[in-house]
Amino acid sequence: MLMMFGYYLGLALRSLRSNIVLTCLMIIAIGVGIGASMTMLTIFRAASGDPIPQKSAQLFVPQIDNFGPRPNGPPQSGDVLPFDLTYTDALALMRAHAAGRQAAMYATTVSVTSPGSSQTLLQGYARATYSDFFPMFNVPFEFGAPWSSAEDDTHAAVVVLSRAFNDRLFDGANSVGRTLTIGGKPYRVIGVLDDWHPSPRFYDLGQNSFTGVDQLFLPFTRAIDEQMRTPRTETFLCDRALTGHGWNGILHSNCIWIQFWVDLPTHSGAAKYLAFLHNYAAQQQQAGRFDWPPHVALRNVMQWLTYRDVVPSSVDTLTPISFAILLVCLLNATGLMLAKFMARVGGTGIRRALGANRPAIFAQCLVEVGIIGLAGGLLGLALTKFGLMGSRAVLPEDLSVLARLHSGDMLIALIVAIVATLLAGLYPTWRTSQVQPALQIKAQ
């Protein structure tokens, strides 16, 4: 078998060299199709991938319509529910504890001073959240552990660092038990994360969904006490002017700025939580907060990414177009293969007359087609790299980080090129194997 393959390989290479122009045209046709399709497929796969596949079906975002269908309301009014919750609603849901695990959270920035230094080292991107955040999202730890629910209740001055931030502050050493000064007050390091970069950052899609990182984590209750504000002031969407002033005004307003997630492992648990959410909204309506029918939703991770249009419509549109280009290129390659194979039917007929059977002719042509597919795939990889470089210039800055060709994508490109070319070459190969030796010898 191996000797026959070597023999067919030698015949295929001689055949390809005999008409180098036609061979190059076939390779270019395959390469262009692979380059166009793989450029968009790489971006689409990275943007639409499941950031937490082991739990995405059981992690949910509760939504409550606290704006109502008002024509003069903010952009998220009407049939589209607000993405976040008010502080009042988030606190009420936390106290109700209708889910086994739950976490309210928001992003903030803090001034961090390292131990033994009187100067601010840097600004840190922090996430104020609850202790359930870490087990709920399967966050790995390199050193230490998350804080406990008791420390949530006592508003403890503790902090968890990302691995990269710990590297910058403590050169990667185990910093558990060390003290940081945050906002002029001491905080005890209780844990350090291992590498953890969900893409997209599904639990907070407000800004920089693919490039944003959280460098520190601290208790939500402590952040509220210290009046740590979110830097994303545009997320303070309100249906009316603030009823108060300053921090208390924000906390007691109808502004939405708190992300909220719950862990509901079973379908029945999700159904019960949705019913609880509807009842809560109905109670708020009865209490006079809402003057419209209760409107709530509960979406899991993938539903949430779809709802938030994480994959831009341009990528959704261009992906099928790029595969249509691949199909056109394959059809062109099929025509070129048919022309090449049929141009040598005389030699094929002589081989048949000398004893080569149809399967042998078919196998030889298929090896030749496979070589074309491999060469086209390699060219397609080069074109894909250029295509991704070009796409980084036109994609949104947050999404351009996905325009990278990884080893898995390279393997996919080669497999697609070879398989697609083999499929495209089946008809020309079959036609060639059907050559009647007697007729070809007579014609010669």
CB 107 within 8 A of CB 231: yes
Report which DSSP code applies to 237.
B
The closest alpha carbon to 126, from 196, 232, 230, belongs to: 230
Reduce the DSSP state of residue 225 to 3 states and report it: helix
Residues 418, 422, 425, 429: what is their CA dihedral angle, to the nearest 10 degrees? 130
* Residue 245 tokens, joined: 């002033």
pLDDT at 124: 85
pLDDT at 401: 60
pLDDT at 42: 77
**What H or E segment, with its residue span, contains residue 122?**
strand 122-129
Q: How far apart are the first and last CA of the chain?
A: 32
Report which DSSP code applies to 206.
S
Contacts of 80 (CB under 8 A, 6+ apart): none
pLDDT at 177: 93
Residue type, 322: S
pLDDT at 308: 86
Alpha-carbon distance of 30 to 95, in angstroms, equals 60
Per-residue pLDDT of the chain (444 residues; tens, 9 = 90+): 566 767 767 777 887 888 888 888 989 999 998 888 888 777 777 666 788 989 999 999 999 988 776 554 444 444 578 899 999 999 999 999 999 999 999 999 998 987 666 555 678 899 999 999 999 999 999 999 999 999 999 999 999 999 999 998 888 999 999 999 998 899 999 999 999 988 888 999 876 777 678 999 999 999 999 999 887 554 566 655 554 567 888 888 888 899 999 999 999 999 999 999 999 999 999 988 888 888 999 999 999 988 888 766 666 677 788 888 888 888 888 888 888 777 666 666 666 565 567 777 777 778 888 888 889 889 988 888 888 777 766 665 556 566 667 777 788 888 888 888 888 888 888 777 766 654 444 445
The closest alpha carbon to 146, from 101, 196, 190, belongs to: 190
CB 196 within 8 A of CB 146: no
C-alpha distances in angstroms, 389 versus 265, 368, 408? 41, 32, 18
- Record the pTM: 0.74
Alpha-carbon distance of 409 to 63, in angstroms, equals 36
Alpha-carbon distance of 163 to 176, in angstroms, equals 12
* Residue 404 tokens, joined: 């990278």
20-26 contacts, C-beta under 8 A, 24 or more apart:
22/336, 22/339, 22/340, 23/340, 23/372, 25/336, 26/333, 26/336, 26/337, 26/340, 26/372, 26/376
Half-sphere exposure in the Cβ direction for 427 (13 Å, CA): 12
Residue type, 286: Q
Contacts of 121 (CB under 8 A, 6+ apart): 112, 113, 114, 169
What secondary structure does DSSP assign to 99-114, as a single string? SSEEEEEEEEEEEEE-
Backbone angles phi, psi at 111, to 5 degrees: -95, 125
